[in-house]
Structure 1
């Protein structure tokens, strides 16, 4: 064949392949397709249910072990999900996390803030899995999943199970390197009133969303006793109890949901400064706090308007700590007010390598929130209220009580002696960056760029 003809045929074929590609809206990465809709239509209306064992029981249900095995299999199968799916999901997670942060900024003035956008998002997705009708539609809208067309059929609905597994994939990516300097765990608990029948499929769907998942029954008509039992149960699973979060439990509660995440990280090659250092909690108040220091090459930028600086600190192969502090007499409130709720917003953009000596507090910060209170502050108190349709959780008329989200973040040094560290560009004086006044922090998963933690440090000594 003539070479020119061969080349022409090649490009014709290539053009046909390109033209044959059909754009898939990101929404459909998580929505039901037509075949799955048919399967849903063919499902029997009789849902298998069970009554959770008492929180005081020492017996471990056989089904609980099966759930753990199922969780391992499910999370392993999610490792190869497309970057496009995670990229879309991380944007939705950030937007909702920023909304919650703005609420906390107003209600927690002058206090430390720590929230997990992925954890809060996952709690709402969990209830979406159990919702139907208007409740499901309202939750899907809050989660940011807006169908590209106005069709009201099954394909306009999101498969919440896919979303939960996507969130779990992000957490699995964080731990894929198995770094000794990073520990991450997540516990989820579903507490129901005695004799409330829960859907087996609903509980099975929640199991892969955490390292450990438990369903237990407790008597909420005795609120103080219920709070004591829940706190003891959670503490026995390795989670420190939340101060005062379980006070004022509504005696009419029939379901309480709680998730706890813990992230402990060490700054690589950092060492503790011998003396306590000054930290200014405001312009007129200073305290002495333990601090660490590290010299190295970090990704850094100071924004054009000179309002704040950003420094990225790797704390493991797949975990990135981002620290943001005001500069040039600006305060933290100015930075927070400009915290965008657009999914493309990130502090990871436009960074460049700089030789830096970074000094920052040794930090332990924990926060606990009732998602119901946050929704009330957002004028969404009815979303999980007594009129919510949650028939996929139970055939009982559920009263959702507290929806607890607790996050713990510990940042420490690894004890390396700085005098033993040789920097390639040690001949040039490093830029001195010292976090000695209120600052913001965020923890990202490196591959997906999803934000797992977002916080504000006003006083490093008031972390727990």
Structure 2
């Protein structure tokens, strides 16, 4: 009988972030015009960039799985949180279990070695956590272990070195106390954004592995709160809700994709990330969901141009909580959840399996930003009214970190009036 443990993956996201350089280039790596202060990351970036196409493939494949699980509902998750936790788990996996995990994360093991994958994630975490960024982006990995379970020193040393893993002894025989310890830690690490993550813990649990991402940033050009007004949002043919709609007129990165019948607007924030807002034409969301791949994002990036727009975008908060074992199994990560699991690299014996994988993510979008006062004067110089782009029906929001080209968040907002 295998001993079971849980994996929890969290993301707290506040005011998604971006600024005015090229968005992630999933083929060619960094933008050559990138600011010089990023250049000292060059060695780390090379290791990171090896992961870029694979992580992007995983992100969009997982997106297709999650919207099958929650059709016609809000969906929000952090691909980088999920892939990081499972890459860390792969450190302790062996044989077919390890192969399934890495291939399920979209790695081709004939083209990249496990050592390169681990090194890439190590550099990714380090770069995402870099302190000079104007974005608050913290990635935390933690393991909670029963004192009866003695992990191998090599596993702990490697996980600490590669993933900045924090390890804690936890008395799972006292579920209430274990829940409090874990929840207090998570709440502290996510600055109060995610609370009461763990509940109804099984006293048989021996280990909980967690990957947490906390993300906070401000729009480069803020929306003025006095311009926000209640407007209608058309959820579907039968449902209309009132939402606070932010408004801003200015020059935005814009593209209309005729093939996918969708409008793309890129908003910029202070810091190292980029937000793509994608508004499909009525009746075209399904087509967009089914065909969205990393190459689509690259094409949008290449074709964006500055256009004067009157932009309406809802102020909203959404969160998603998912038990993702089934989705990962569909993507080929199977054995680790069964008695076939080989996680002997963690404890030295093959008596562990993963019983549950929980992913929590949340995002708040509001008007806040830090706007350079001198930057606004010359923006509205036309006598004619600019075209109105209003995000008043279901849309996608994709958030990337520009330094690492990582897909931080993918969200489908069907009803911004619903918070979860």
Shorter-chain TM-score bucket reads 0.7 to 0.9
Partner of 1:50: none
When Rg is computed on C-alpha atoms for both structures, the one with the higher figure is 1
Number of equivalences = 377
Confirm whether residue 339 of structure 1 aligns to residue 292 of structure 2: yes
Partner of 2:405: 449
Secondary structure of the equivalent of 1:81? helix
Structure 2 counterpart of 1:266, from 218, 240, 254: 218
Confirm whether residue 357 of structure 1 aligns to residue 313 of structure 2: no
Partner of 2:75: 113
Shift of 1:197: 0.9
Partner of 2:125: 168
Structure 2 counterpart of 1:426, from 371, 381, 389: 381
Structure 1 counterpart of 2:279, from 325, 342, 345: 325
Shift of 1:376: 3.5
Secondary structure of the equivalent of 1:461? coil
Confirm whether residue 80 of structure 1 aligns to residue 42 of structure 2: yes
TM-score normalised per structure 2: 0.78
Secondary structure of the equivalent of 1:349? helix
Shift of 1:456: 0.7
Secondary structure of the equivalent of 1:282? coil
Following the alignment from structure 1 to structure 2, what is the Cα–Cα distance between the partners of residues 350 and 170? 28
Partner of 1:146: 108
Following the alignment from structure 1 to structure 2, what is the Cα–Cα distance between the partners of residues 423 and 78? 35
Following the alignment from structure 2 to structure 1, what is the Cα–Cα distance between the partners of residues 96 and 331? 18
Partner of 1:7: none
Following the alignment from structure 1 to structure 2, what is the Cα–Cα distance between the partners of residues 215 and 401? 20
Following the alignment from structure 1 to structure 2, what is the Cα–Cα distance between the partners of residues 299 and 315? 13
The 1:362–1:399 alpha-carbon spacing in structure 2 relative to 1, beyond 3 Å, is same
Per-residue displacement from partner, 1:143-191 (whole Å, max 9, x unpaired)?
Answer: 3332447xxxxx9543443022132145146x64x32xx4323332212
The 1:216–1:419 alpha-carbon spacing in structure 2 relative to 1, beyond 3 Å, is closer
Following the alignment from structure 1 to structure 2, what is the Cα–Cα distance between the partners of residues 236 and 169? 20
Structure 1 counterpart of 2:169, from 214, 217, 222: 217
Do 2:101 and 2:332's aligned partners in 1 also have CA atoms closer than 8 Å? no
Structure 2 counterpart of 1:95, from 34, 57, 75: 57
Following the alignment from structure 1 to structure 2, what is the Cα–Cα distance between the partners of residues 419 and 434? 25
The 1:448–1:312 alpha-carbon spacing in structure 2 relative to 1, beyond 3 Å, is same
Partner of 2:265: 311
The 1:412–1:208 alpha-carbon spacing in structure 2 relative to 1, beyond 3 Å, is farther
Deviates most, 351-360 or 268-277: 268-277
Superposition map of 1:403-418 within 5 A = 403-414=357-368
Shift of 1:98: 1.3
Shift of 1:113: 1.1
Do 2:322 and 2:359's aligned partners in 1 also have CA atoms closer than 8 Å? yes
Partner of 1:23: none
TM-score normalised per structure 1: 0.72
Secondary structure of the equivalent of 1:198? coil
Do 2:119 and 2:162's aligned partners in 1 also have CA atoms closer than 8 Å? no
Following the alignment from structure 2 to structure 1, what is the Cα–Cα distance between the partners of residues 70 and 216? 24
Secondary structure of the equivalent of 1:358? strand
Partner of 2:209: 257
Unaligned runs of 5+ in 2: 1-37
Structure 2 counterpart of 1:300, from 234, 254, 257: 254
Per-residue displacement from partner, 1:409-448 (whole Å, max 9, x unpaired)?
Answer: 2222237899994234522532311111111011112244
Following the alignment from structure 1 to structure 2, what is the Cα–Cα distance between the partners of residues 249 and 77? 46
Superposition map of 1:36-75 within 5 A = none
Partner of 2:94: 132
Do 2:145 and 2:207's aligned partners in 1 also have CA atoms closer than 8 Å? yes
Superposed CA RMSD: 3.2
The 1:372–1:290 alpha-carbon spacing in structure 2 relative to 1, beyond 3 Å, is same
Do 1:125 and 1:163's aligned partners in 2 also have CA atoms closer than 8 Å? no
The 1:115–1:274 alpha-carbon spacing in structure 2 relative to 1, beyond 3 Å, is closer
Partner of 1:186: 139
Per-residue displacement from partner, 1:362-387 (whole Å, max 9, x unpaired)?
Answer: 23222233443432454633234333
The 1:415–1:255 alpha-carbon spacing in structure 2 relative to 1, beyond 3 Å, is closer
Do 2:234 and 2:241's aligned partners in 1 also have CA atoms closer than 8 Å? yes
Secondary structure of the equivalent of 2:399? strand
Shift of 1:303: 0.8
Partner of 2:231: 277
Higher relative contact order (CA 8 A, sep 6+): 2
